Amino acid sequence: MPSLHDDLSLPFQIEQCDVRGRLVRLGPALDRILSRHAYPEPVAQLLAEAMALAATMATALKFDGIFSLQAKGDGPVSTLVADCRTPGHLRGYASFDAERLDGLELGPGAERALVPLLLGKGYLAFTIDPQGPDMERYQGIVDLSGSTLAEAAHAYFAQSEQLNARVVLAAAHRKGTDGRRYWRGGGILLQQLPIQAGGLGDDERELAWEKATALLSTTRADELCDPAISQNDLLFRLFHEDGVRVFEASALADACTCSSDKVRGILSTFSAEELGDMADADGRITVTCQFCSAGYDFPAADFSASGAKA
């Protein structure tokens, strides 16, 4: 169910620890993204956590553009994609093998080992594609490791980040007051601030970071996903001893980038033979967006008339 504490990213700082962070809460936007697809529960759970991770990391960066997370593996879930575009537009999808998934035994506690169970061996890639002239695209890739997406992200932080970073993620399919089940998710990212003149010494910084991450690890999944617990209350529960200061939150939204013009432009790059293979018996080409499931229908003759690729 919607609440006042949904679909936002909240920056904060733990005053006495030289630590900054982001708290992400996802409600209706996440539920709409997942509800468009007939994902089995464990696949939806994994994608929900990926959406929370992408939103948490993207909004912690100061740039305009697209932040993308992509996981590829040899397991029943072959591809997992989530991206966040300025100013907080989210989309995501998962590709999976239904027969292989049906053959898995997913008992209690399986949500704590979704990476090896569903993705198997493969890689996790994070891509930053900033807008504007003279802006370079960056991509970091790490082998899939650990039992959860959070643990896989920690391997990436250890490889790619100059500063310490830790994250917790959660997703849940909760029943609302109307009896319907709604997807909710969340994440908290902590990052150690750069050394500052007059700030904590090396030993103090290390102890402060250890304390902050120890407190972060006590975050319960139900706390991150409970609409009755405000983001401010959750941060106060975790970090009040060291003084936690929050800043202005930014909104997150379900928003795909597909359009009829974009799909038409893509189809116009195919050859006449390829377009013929795509057309149905009535001579029409139907394309479904893998992200939002929107359907686009065109007469194949439109492209031959306008000149398809030779």
Q: Is the pLDDT of residue 199 over 80?
A: no
**pLDDT averaged over every residue in the chain:** 90
What pLDDT is recorded for position 2? 43
Mean pLDDT calculated for residue range 195-215: 86
* SS3 state of residue 303: helix
- Neighbour-count burial of 196, counting CB atoms closer than 10 A to its CB (0-12 exposed, 13-18 middle, 19+ buried): exposed
Residue 309 has pLDDT above 70, yes or no: no
The answer to whether the CB of 145 falls within 8 A of the CB of 45 is no
Please report the pLDDT score of residue 198 as a whole number.
Answer: 66
Residue 154 near residue 146 (C-beta atoms within 8 A):
yes
pLDDT category of residue 197 using cuts at 50, 70 and 90: low
**pLDDT at residue 4, as a whole number:** 53
Confidence of residue 195 (pLDDT cuts 50, 70, 90): confident
CB-based contacts of 233: which residues, under 8 Å, 6+ apart? Answer: none
Cα distance between residue 47 and residue 33, in whole Å: 10
Residue 306 has pLDDT above 70, yes or no: no
Q: Which residue spans of the chain are classified as CATH 3.90.1280.10?
A: 260-306
- Is 8-254 in CATH node 3.40.50.970? no
- Average pLDDT (193-219) is 87
- pLDDT for 1: 41
The enclosing H or E element of 66 equals strand 65-73
- Residue 149: half-sphere exposure toward Cβ, Cα within 13 Å: 33
Domain 260-306 in CATH 3.40.50.720? The answer is no
Q: What is the pLDDT of residue 111?
A: 74
Per-residue pLDDT tens over the stretch 212-264: 999 999 999 999 999 899 999 999 999 999 999 999 999 999 999 999 999 99
- Asked whether the beta carbons of 57 and 189 are under 8 A apart, the reply is yes
Report the SS3 class of residue 269. coil
Instruction: Quote the pLDDT of residue 310.
Output: 43
Predicted local distance difference test score (pLDDT) of residue 163: 73
Other beta carbons within 10 angstroms of residue 86's beta carbon come to 16
Residues 6+ apart with CB under 8 A from 161: 191
Task: Let me know: does 293 contact 277? Beta carbons within 8 Å.
Answer: no
Q: Which residue has the higher pLDDT, 277 or 44?
A: 44
Encode pLDDT of 63-120 as tens digits: 899 999 999 999 999 999 999 999 999 999 999 999 999 878 776 777 788 999 999 9
Which spans in 145-300 are helix H? 149-160, 202-216, 221-225, 231-239, 260-267, 272-278
Residue 179 has pLDDT above 50, yes or no: yes
C-beta separation of 183 from 173 below 8 A: yes
Question: Do residues 230 and 5 lie in contact, with contact meaning Cβ atoms separated by under 8 Å?
Answer: yes
Angle (CA) 115-121-125 rounded to 5° is 75
As annotated, the residues of the chain forming the CATH 3.55.30.10 domain(s) are 8-254
Average the pLDDT over each of 110-114, 196-200, 297-301, 305-309 and give the range with the smallest value: 305-309
Q: Is residue 11 predicted with pLDDT exceeding 50?
A: yes
Q: Which of 46-60, 172-186, 239-253 has the lowest mean pLDDT?
A: 172-186
pLDDT at 304: 66
Q: What average pLDDT does range 292-298 have in this prediction? A: 91
**Average pLDDT of the residues in 131-145:** 87
pLDDT at 124: 96
What backbone torsions phi and psi does residue 10 show, to the nearest 5 degrees?
A: -115, 115
pTM recorded for the entire structure: 0.91
- Give me the phi and psi of 259, to 5 degrees please: -160, 165
- Least confident among 4-8, 12-16, 155-159, 276-280: 4-8
